[in-house]
Chains A and B, each alone.
Chain A
Amino acid sequence: MAEASISLKQKLWNPEARLAYILLLPAVVVLVTFMFYPIVYVLLMAFFKTDKLSRFRGFVGLQNFFSEMTEPEFWIITGRSILWTVLAVVTKTLFGMTIALILNVKYTGRKVARMLFIIPWASAVPISSMIWRWVYHPVYGLLNHTLKVTGLWITPPTWLGHPIYGFIACIWVDIWIGIPFMALVFLAGMQAISEDLYESASLDGVNWWQKFFFITLPGIRHIVLIATLLSCLWTFNDFNTIYILTRGGPAGATDILITRIYQNAFKWLRFDRAAVMAFVTFIILTILSILYSRIYFKEERV
């Protein structure tokens, strides 16, 4: 027993471990102060009554959750967040896959094409969103003009002023930003697949679709999983696009959880409601993060 406790002590407190703790200390202190403590604070806030200055005014248990979850609005926004995430990630995956497949064909100029495809991801998201606001402009915007002139849509909508078209307009910008990452990751995965597999398949007279389904897809399965999980996290978290395009309007029709948290807190000063939504969001994001991390960890040798 005595020996065991000594060896445990040695394990925890030997020169090497001590150095590690010292080196980690600054980062850990900063993370605890500015990330863990704020998270715990908000999670606690969900169980308290709060005033307009977000001060705690007495413990109320689950009452905030009950009052929030009996409102249809809460479920509409949660449902919209999920719809938002699923629709956006699926579309990003499809576009990303298409672009990766064509960039995997060895034609001249594909390096330039690759660089051009990256631009929406490489640009600042808030700034792109502002440009999109101008593109969507009902009178002077070039999108509606182009739709009219080409005859694709003779009477295009006032995109950002309409509940459904507003949602479509917002989700498209989110998709548009997210496509390049998908494409790049898929492409990297495809390029790791051995050429020999394709060549021998060609000799056996296998067609393009069969190659795609039996060689390419299984080869990048793992990477697709990681990329889509990551994309789910980013998409669910996308505050900038919606806030800049519509601020959740018209009449909250484009709000998702993440934007509503902000509005509840900083516009309406309803910190209790914001905290409940933050709690729910936290749970969802943590589940996604852990899924992503597990898969990532499996691949990476730690």
Chain B
Amino acid sequence: MKWRNRGKLPAIIITVVLLLFLLFPFFVMISTMLKSSEEVYISPPTWIPERLHFSNLIIVWREFELFIFFKSSIIIALGATIFNTLLTVPAAYAVARLRFIGRKFILYLFLVIQMFSPVIVIISLFKIMVGLNLLDTYISLIIANSVFTIAFTIWMMNGYFKSIPVEIEEAALIDGCSRGQTITRIMIPIAVPGLVTSMIYTFIYAWNEFLFGLTFIQARPKMPLVLALFHFVGRWTTQWELLTTAAFLAIIPVLVLFYIIEKRLVAGLAGGAVKE
């Protein structure tokens, strides 16, 4: 007890100092998005806007046509999530529940490729997309994002399926359920937390993805949000008050989703050493 009490105040002080230090860019983001365009470009700059401007939110939506890119990002991220789930659930069930030769090898392989670098394959992937005539399409990004999330989501779902007692499934099989029915009526409903985690993971991955978009998408209307912002920064005069506003709007959805899965994500990445 004595140790705990003694440790408290320094811990709080260190927390505050570290948070101020680490969250500085977000402070800058919020401060800038509330400034007028004149105030953004005065030197020396101001920490806090003299007058709060909320008009940037409207400007970004109307003139920068942010909704176009939001729409692209939502289509891509949802598409990737659905495609990924359709591939992941059956595969994860197979490695979790069925006995076959090569099961361990396949699991191990999924784990190894989970961390593969998209940059290594980007050259050939680009050629494939050209060959399939998929440049400047949402499908190219839906496929690429699914492929690079499958290994991890199969691993996660494998863990969830394994944690369901075999007896439940056996009882259902004896009662005359088919394999397919046990999967859809018993396994998936019980594994919903895992399913939600892997779906959100894929959604966030696709939402935040930059490299594939940069390589496959040139047409402005098809650009996902992140890529559109990047091109916005690249322009000769970046209007930072608008960019920070757009960045803020782009971050919020993934931030909320991330908090839902954060604990399960850590457990999934660190393996058996971490319990949820």
- Do the beta carbons of A237 and B12 come within 8 Å of each other? no
Say how far B209's CB is from chain A's closest CB, in angstroms: 8
Knowing A226-B271, A299-B273 are in contact, say whether A110-B94 is a contact too (CB < 8 A).
no
- Residues of A near B2 (CB, < 8 A) are 202
- SS of A interface (majority): helix
Categorize the interface residue count of chain B: 35 or more
Which of B98, B179, B272 lies in contact with A299, CB distance below 8 A?
B272
| Complex: A101 Cα to B154 Cα, angstroms | 33
| Contact with B95, one of A24, A98, A192, A202 (Cβ below 8 angstroms) | A24
- Shortest Cβ gap from B250 to chain A (Å): 6
A142 CA to B26 CA, complexed, in Å: 11
In this complex, the member of A139, A149, A261, A296 whose beta carbon has the largest number of chain B beta carbons within 10 angstroms is A296
- The reply to whether B270 and A227 form a contact with Cβ atoms under 8 Å apart is yes
Residues of B that sit less than 8 Å from A by CB: 2-4, 7-8, 11-12, 14-15, 18-19, 22-26, 28-29, 31-32, 40-45, 47, 86-88, 90-91, 93-95, 98-101, 103-104, 106-108, 111-128, 143-144, 146-148, 150-151, 154, 159, 179, 207-208, 210-211, 215, 226, 229-230, 233, 240, 243-244, 247, 250-251, 254-255, 258-259, 262, 266-267, 269-275
Tell whether A179 pairs with B150 under 8 Å between CB atoms, given A34-B144, A122-B259, A141-B45: no
The answer to whether the Cβ of A214 comes within 8 Å of any Cβ in the partner chain is no
For chain A, residues 213 to 236, give those with C-beta under 8 angstroms from any C-beta of chain B.
Answer: 222-223, 226-227, 230, 233-234
Q: Which B residues are in CB contact (< 8 Å) with A234?
A: 115
Residue of A31, A109, A115, A208 touching B3 (CB-CB under 8 A): A208
Task: State the CA gap A31–B151 with chains docked (Å).
Answer: 9
Kindly list chain B residues whose C-beta atoms are within 8 Å of the C-beta of A31: 113, 147, 150-151
In the complex the two chains form, is A27's CB within 8 Å of B150's CB? yes
- Set of chain B residues within 8 Å of A249, measured between Cβ atoms: none
Q: CB within 8 A of B150: which of A30, A103, A107, A281?
A: A30
A82 on interface, CB distance cutoff 8 Å: no
Query: Given A105-B8, A130-B233, do A17 and B98 touch, yes or no (CB 8 Å)?
Result: yes
Residues 1 to 43 of chain A near chain B (Cβ within 8 Å): 11-12, 16-17, 19-21, 23-24, 26-28, 30-31, 33-35, 37-39, 41-42
Stretch from A67-75, A86-94, A180-188 contacting the other chain: A180-188
A49 interface residue (CB < 8 Å to B): no
B266 touches A185 (CB 8 A): yes
Cβ contact of B47, chosen from A98, A123, A142, cutoff 8 A: A142
Bound: A137/B241 CA distance, A: 14
* Total chain A interface residues with beta-carbon distance under 8 A: 112
Contact present for A131 and B244 (CB under 8 Å): yes
Q: Is the CB of B3 within 8 A of A198?
A: yes
The answer to whether A139 and B43 touch (CB under 8 A), given A37-B124, A98-B14, A188-B267, is: yes
Residues of A near B272 (CB, < 8 A) are 296, 299-301
Select from chain A the residue with minimum beta-carbon distance to B215: A266
Asked if A106 and B244 make an inter-chain contact with CB atoms under 8 angstroms apart, the answer reads no
Using A102-B11, A110-B15, A142-B45 as known contacts, say yes or no to A35 and B119 having CB atoms under 8 A apart.
no
Would you call B111 and A123 a contact (CB within 8 A)? no
Docked pose: A189 CA to B267 CA in angstroms: 10
Chain B residues with CB under 8 Å of A274's CB are 123
Q: Does A209 contact B (CB under 8 A)?
A: no
Is there contact, CB below 8 Å, between A127 and B226?
Answer: yes
Closest chain B residue, CB of each to CB of A266: B215
A117 touches B19 (CB 8 A): yes
What are the residues of chain A within 8 A of B208 when measuring CB–CB? 124-127
Q: At the interface, yes or no: A63 with Cβ under 8 Å from chain B?
A: no
**Nearest chain B residue, comparing its CB with the CB of A207:** B3
CB contact under 8 A between A35 and B113, given known A113-B19, A262-B122? yes
Give the residues from 115 to 137 in chain A that come closer than 8 angstroms, CB to CB, to chain B.
115-128, 130-135, 137
